[in-house]
Amino acid sequence: MIRVQSSRTVVRRLLQRRYQSKSSFGIALATASRLVTPKWMLNNPVSLVSTEMNTLAKNIMGLIGSGHPTLNRVTSYYFEAEGKKVRPMLVLLLSRALSAIPVEKRNNIKIDFTDFETAPVGKDPLQKFLSSKPVENFSPLQIIHGIQSMNPLTKEASPIPEKQFDDERGILPKQRRLAEIVEMIHTASLLHDDVIDHADTRRGRPSGNVVFTNKMAVLAGDFLLGRATVSISRLKNPEVVELMSSSIANLVEGEFMQLHNVAMDSGNNDLLTEVTPVGKLNLRTHDYKVPVLPPQSTLASETLTREQQQEIINNAFRYYLHKSYLKTASLISKSCRATAILSGAQPNVIESCYNFGKNLGLCFQLVDDMLDFTISAKELGKPAGADLKLGISTAPVLYAWMEDPSLGPLIQRHFNQQGDIQQVLKSVELHNGVDKTKKLAENYRDMALKCLRDVLPESDSRSALEFLTNSILTRRK
């Protein structure tokens, strides 16, 4: 215990001297990067930044490369920029932390003997199965890639020395591939989100839709998701395939929820047009909206009792958190669960890893929504105040609404009248909406930390995960 804490303190002090201008979130990322970086890469002068994240991006390009040069440029555009890459970092760190659990206690996995040329015997099967690589392909390459027998970029992919990396770092090949898949899915969602939100910057430079047009950005996002699903299937684990595929669907569901904005949609939302079903299909109702008061209500304070107003706000908050889970926490939580499954961990460990990712993801989104009110566009690397401009009510606004009923009509009309945004900003400041949001984020952070400590042995990697989780509240981009 003392050794781990002292080593962590030394590393933190060294990094604080080196990164004095950075937030503790930046320091945490730098510290975590070193824990998932082979020594040979730390001394690699070719790498722009000596972390495994750079090799991860290169490996991804080997997975997604197309025979069309323009498509390659669009899909690689966001990978070229310096991003946080928190999601693959979490997968890699969690993989290392899980490796601290003895192999004999990570036997909750069904061995697929088709992974081996000859049936293994003795105690070897479990170890060999856990350390087996994703399959290269199921179908012949000429079928997968079309007319050409092999994707041109796939030939250029140069894998890192796997034995040295995996044996020394405790990260299994399939877990490393999972980290790459997670970043592919996330990047595809960024391409799509920037089109939907009419964003003009991302990671401090012009967004993909601005550089390449909306159509190309959407198609590139679709292509990334297609390549990701191929890679998911090659992990040869049905539950992991289900988890990661459903996380893609969750991203779309969350975006649809955001189009509705909040649960008390007036029915006049200009983003959506209600179409009467023709009755040819018996469609099961599956609406995420929670029960609210009749839409003809104006939500003005004089037309509602205190209890009615509180009911609507509570419904709106539940709707907001559900949307936040689907848009942000789903990919993080399901990738953490998949990481534990690939390690062969027991069910209680798998469940705690999932809950860790869920709570951390919600904390991350709450902080993101806070930054929209507190950080300039230059610091944030993307437009600040974008949510209000899009008519989206996040936690700071909902907390202010609890104290200021006059915000109800503004929220209902999506801040589309002159002076609405200014009034909301004043109310959020007056009623401490940002501080209350930070308090909620702290609660989710604490739950995430508890999940880690309940099931994972002490290790440098667990300490790095704790450090990273704690520092999310201090990030500035």
422-446 average pLDDT score: 95
Query: Among 339, 365, 348, which residue's Cα sits nearest to residue 444?
Result: 365
3-state SS, residue 282: coil
Quick one: pLDDT band at residue 134, thresholds 50, 70, 90?
A: confident
394-423 average pLDDT score: 91
pLDDT, tens digit, 9 for 90 and up, residues 137-183: 777 766 676 655 445 544 444 454 555 555 666 788 899 899 999 99
3-state SS, residue 201: strand
205 torsion bin: left (phi>0), alpha (psi -120 to 50), beta (else): beta
| Cα 423–Cα 429–Cα 434 angle in degrees, nearest 5 | 120
Query: Among 291, 444, 454, which residue's Cα sits nearest to residue 358?
Result: 444
Give the DSSP letter of residue 146: T
What pLDDT score was predicted for residue 335? 98
- 101 φ/ψ angles, rounded to the nearest 5 degrees: -80, 130
Radius of gyration of the chain (CA): 24
In sequence order, the 6+-apart residues with CB closer than 8 A to the CB of 91 are 175, 178, 179, 182, 335, 336, 339
What pLDDT score was predicted for residue 157? 43
Query: Among 160, 168, 159, which residue's Cα sits nearest to residue 41?
Result: 160
- Token pair of 159 as six digits: 């894998």
- 93 φ/ψ angles, rounded to the nearest 5 degrees: -65, -40
Question: How many Cβ atoms are within 10 Å of 311's Cβ, its own excluded?
Answer: 16
Question: How many Cβ atoms are within 10 Å of 270's Cβ, its own excluded?
Answer: 9
0.85 surpassed by pTM: no
Provide the CATH number for the domain formed by 2-272+287-474 in this structure.
Answer: 1.10.600.10
Range in 227-231, 279-283, 346-350, 406-410 with the lowest mean pLDDT:
279-283
What pLDDT score was predicted for residue 327? 94
What pLDDT score was predicted for residue 10? 44
What pLDDT score was predicted for residue 282? 66
Give the DSSP letter of residue 327: I
Query: Among 68, 17, 72, 26, which residue's Cα sits nearest to residue 51?
Result: 26
Residue 7 pLDDT exceeds 60: no
Question: For 153, what's the count of Cα atoms within 13 Å in the CB-facing half-sphere?
Answer: 17
Contact 56, 88 (CB under 8 A): yes
What pLDDT score was predicted for residue 456? 96
pLDDT, tens digit, 9 for 90 and up, residues 312-368: 899 999 999 999 999 999 999 999 999 999 999 999 999 999 999 999 999 999 999
Give the DSSP letter of residue 13: H
